[in-house]
Amino acid sequence: MKCPRICQAKAINDHTLVIEFTNQEIKKYDIVHLLKNPAFAPLCQRAFFQNFQVEQGGYGIVWNENIDLSEYELWKNGITVASGDRDVLL
């Protein structure tokens, strides 16, 4: 299954990302479940969590060379944002 790529993203609190995809759909993705994995431990720090970039081409979100999330993960496991809430989030 091919999923849309990421247009833009932002952190809205200490553990939630809001992602806009190329098909104009917006999803929220909570990283709390990832924090059980030691590889994602740096994301517990608010400043680190909020300092990411959308990978060129929209194929993922990258914090550093060791921590990233693919567009597929964010698309498949994100929760769709209702159209009325979109403007508030992005």
* Residues 55, 38 contacting (CB under 8 angstroms): no
Confidence check: pLDDT of 34 > 90: yes
What CATH class is the domain 6-81?
alpha beta
Instruction: Determine the pLDDT at residue 58.
Output: 97
Residue 1's pLDDT band, with cuts at 50, 70 and 90, is: low
- Pick the closest to residue 29 from 42, 20, 18, 44 (CA basis): 18
* pLDDT digits 0-9 by tens, 42-89: 999 999 999 999 999 999 999 999 999 999 999 999 999 987 676 656
List the structure tokens of 85. 């809430």
Using the structure block, give the residue that is written with the tokens 């060791």. Answer: 66
